[in-house]
Amino acid sequence: MASRALYSPRHPMLKKRDDFEDILEERRRYSDLRYALKCYTPTLYKGLVPCKASVLKTIVLQSDHLQYVIKQVSSESGDSPECVTEEASLILDEMAHRLQLSTIRFFAFTLSKAFKCLFRSVCVNEEGIQRLQQAVQEHPVVLLPSHRSYMDFLMMSYILYTYDLPLPVIAAGMDFMSMKFVGEMLRMSGAFFIRRSFGGDKLYWAVFSEYVKTMLRNGYAPIEFFLEGTRSRTCKSLTPKTGLLNIVMEPFFKGELFDVNLVPVSISYERILEESLYARELLGVPKPKESTSGLLKARRVLSEDYGSMHVYFGQPVSVRSLAERKINRSQYNLLPRHIPQKPSTDTHEFLTDAGFRLVRMQEENMVLKPWVLIATLLLHNPDGLDLSSLTEQTDWLRHLALAFGAFLDWPDHESCTEVIRSSLALHRHLLSISAGHVQLSATDSPQVQMSAEEAVFHRAVVVLSCASYRNQILHVFLRPALLAVAMQSANSSRKDDIYNCFSFLRNMFSNEFILCPGDSVQDFEEACYLLMKRGVLQVLEHEIVMSADGHSTLAFLCTVLDPFLQGYQVVCRYLCEETNENLTEKEFIPGVRDFALKLILGGRLTCFEVLSSDLQKNVLAALLRLNAVRKLKVGDQVTLKVNKIAVNSLEDTLGGKISTQKPMLARL
C-alpha cells in the first residue's frame, strides 16, 4: 500500500450546515392563486431574453455541426440532404420543449394544492438558493438533482419558480409522451423528451447534442438532467451516466464557453411515494406504464402523509476548475469545432471521475431523518426490539452517524422516545407493534390466505421497502464498514493484509456503491481516521488493532454490509451449481430469484434482500468486470459463459474462506 498521510478532514460535527426554509409555510397562509399569478421576473444569464421555440429550432437545424452530420448521413444512406434535414426536423419536433409561462402558472397552482396535502414541509437551503442566483448570472448553469421519485423534477421547477429563478429545461424520458394531455403539459413546462437508447443513430445523437449545446451556449435556460439516468429503486445512488455530462462540458472543452456551473442538488424524502412500487419492481413485478389514467388513479396518495422533504442546492462546481490540469483542451483545436469528436481516453476518465464526485456530493448533502436509523436497526433485528431497547440503540446509532459526518435532521426539542414514536407512526404500514415490541410486518397484505411462495414475496416487499430507507445512510457507514469486514476477513492485524482485503471488497462492490475510481487508498485512510477518532481502532505504523471498546461498533458495521455479502455469495453459488453452458442473459435474473427463493423456503437463507433484481444485476456487472463471467452473442441472444473456478474462488473470498496472503486475492 502506498504510504500517505492519514485522511484528516475537519471534524464532521464542526461542518457548518445551511439554514432551511419551509416553502410550504407561506403557501398554507396565503392564496395559491395569487402565488401562481405573481410577477415572475427571473434574472437571466447576461440579461438575455429566451428566444421562442421556433427560433431555437431554426438555430439548431442551421448549425454547422448538424449540417455536417446531415451531409454525412445523406452520403452514407443515399438519401438526399433535404430528406435527412426533414427527418432531423421531425426528431426536433418530437424532442423539443415549448416552455410557456401560462402552463408554469397552472402547475404552480395545482402543485401547491398537491404538495400541501402530501408533505408536512418542503425545506430548502437558503444559502444554496443565493449561490444559485449568483451562478445563473455568471455562467450557464446545469442542475444535477438526485433521482428517487417522479416528484423530483416537478419539485425542482416549483422551487425555482418560488424563488424567482429561471425555470430549467429538463431532459425527460419518452415514456411521458404516451401520457395524453399530461405529456404535452410537461413539454410546455420545460421538459424535452429523449429516447432511452440511441443505438447507432448518428442523426438522432447529433440533433440531441446540438439542441442541448445550443441552449447552453446561448444561456437560454438552466439545463436539468439526472446524472444517474433513472430513478433509483433502492434509494442508493446509481453509477453516473456520462453521455449528457460530456455534452454540457464540450462547449467549454472547445472554447465556446468560458465556464459552465454544475450544481448538484440533493433531494431527500422522509417517506417515498413509490416505496411499495419500487419493492415490487425489484421482485420482478413489471413497472406500471406511465399513463394519464394511472396518474388519476394515483390521486389516493393525496390522503396519505409523506412527512417532510428536504432539497439541498449544493455549491456550484466550475467545469473550468474541475478540468484544470486534467484536460488538454488543445486536442479540440485539431479539427474545426463543428466536426464531431469521440471523447479521448483522458476525457472519458475525466468525465467518469467528475460524475462520481458529483454524485458523492449529492450523497453528502442528503438530509437524513431519524427513520433511516430505525429502519437500519429493524433490518438487523428481524425478530424485533422492545421500544426501550430500540430507543437506546437508535440514540447510540445517531451519535455514531453524526461522528461519521451524517447530515441528520433530528428534532432539537423532543426526547429520543418522542422522535422514535413519531417516526414509527409515519411508517406504521411497514411495522407490527404489540405490547411495546416493534418489528417489521410479516407481510404487506395481512389477513390474506397465501402460499409459502406468496408469503415470501409479501415479506420481501416489506423488507425491501424498509431497506430503501437504510440505503439512504449507507454512504455514511460504507468506508468504515468495508474496513470492519476487511479486519474480520483478514485474520491478521497487519495493515497491508487488511488493506489488501479492503481493496478487494471495494473493487467487488464498486458497481453497488459510489466509490470514486482510483481512491482506494484515500477511502482506506478515511475509514481508519473515522474509526480511530471514534476510539474503535488504534492505527500503528504497520498494524491496525481494535481497542477494548471497539467490538460493538465493528460488529454493527459488519452487519451493515452483510445483506450484500450474502447476496453476492448466493449469486456466485447459483452460477456454480445451477447453470448450464447455455445460460442466457434474460434467464439470469429469474434463475437467481428462483434459486434464492428455494434457499429461503428451505430455511438455508434468511436474507430477503437477495431477491432484489438490482443487487443481482450489480453482482453480474462485477463478475463481468472481473472476467469471471463473459458475454457471448449467439444469434439474437446473449449467453453468459461462466468461469466456475474463478466464481467459486470469489464466493470463498467473500465468505472469508481464503486467506489474504494467497496470490489469488492479490490478482483480484
User: Cα separation of 285 and 291, whole Å?
Assistant: 17
Q: Please, what are the domains in the chain? A: 121-270+307-365 (3.40.1130.10), 370-552 (no CATH), 562-654 (1.10.10.10)
Identity of the residue numbered 488: Q
- Over the chain (668 residues), what is each successive 10-residue block's mean pLDDT? 40 60 96 96 78 86 95 93 95 92 95 96 97 94 96 96 95 78 87 82 94 90 94 96 94 94 98 94 82 56 92 97 90 82 90 97 97 98 96 97 96 93 96 94 73 93 97 98 95 94 96 96 97 95 93 96 96 88 90 96 95 97 96 89 93 67 33
pLDDT at position 7: 37
DSSP 463-483: HHHHHHHHGGGHHHHHHHHHH
DSSP 134-182: HHHHHS-EEEEE--SSTHHHHHHHHHHHHTTPPPPEEEEEGGGGGSTTH
SS3 543: strand
SS3 413: coil
User: If residue 92 lies in a helix (H) or strand (E), which one and from where to where?
Assistant: helix 81-95
User: If residue 546 lies in a helix (H) or strand (E), which one and from where to where?
Assistant: strand 544-546
DSSP at 6? P
Q: What is the pTM of this model?
A: 0.92
Q: How many residues does the chain have?
A: 668
pLDDT at position 9: 43
For 276-307, letters b (16+ CB in 10 Å) and e give: bbbbbbbbeeeeeebbeeeeeeeeeeeeeebb
pLDDT at position 274: 92
pLDDT at position 16: 54
What own/partner pairs with CB < 8 Å and gap ≥ 24 does 175-181 have?
175/289, 175/290, 176/290, 177/94, 178/289, 178/290, 178/291, 179/290, 179/291, 179/292, 179/295, 180/291, 180/292, 181/292
Residue 142 β-bridge partners: 223, 262
User: If residue 433 lies in a helix (H) or strand (E), which one and from where to where?
Assistant: strand 431-434
Residue 637 β-bridge partners: 634
Phi and psi of 390, rounded to 5°?
-60, -40
Could you tell me the strand order of the sheet in which 437-440 lies?
385-386, 437-440, 431-434
pLDDT at position 454: 92
Q: Are strands 437-440 and 431-434 parallel, antiparallel or unpaired?
A: antiparallel
CA distances (Å), 87 to each of 191, 207, 286, in order? 21, 10, 33
- Strands (E) located in 561-653: 629-634, 637-642
SS3 539: strand
Place of cell 460535527: 13
Q: How many CA atoms lie within 13 A of 281 on its CB side?
A: 14
DSSP at 414? S
User: Cα separation of 54 and 68, whole Å?
Assistant: 21
User: Cα separation of 534 and 661, whole Å?
Assistant: 29
User: Cα separation of 574 and 294, whole Å?
Assistant: 38
**Cα end-to-end span (Å), the chain:** 15
User: Cα separation of 82 and 84, whole Å?
Assistant: 6
DSSP 314-380: ---EEHHHHHTTT--GGGGGSS-TTS--PPPHHHHHHHHHHHHHHHHHHHHTPPBPHHHHHHHHHHH
User: Cα separation of 543 and 499, whole Å?
Assistant: 11
DSSP at 536? S
User: Cα separation of 297 and 303, whole Å?
Assistant: 13
Those residues with Cβ within 8 angstroms of residue 93's Cβ, 6 or more apart along the chain or in another chain:
57
Q: How many CA atoms lie within 13 A of 507 on its CB side?
A: 20
Give Cα 295 distance to the centre of its chain.
Answer: 24
Identity of the residue numbered 209: S
Which of 120, 23, 151 has the alpha carbon at shortest distance from 422? 120
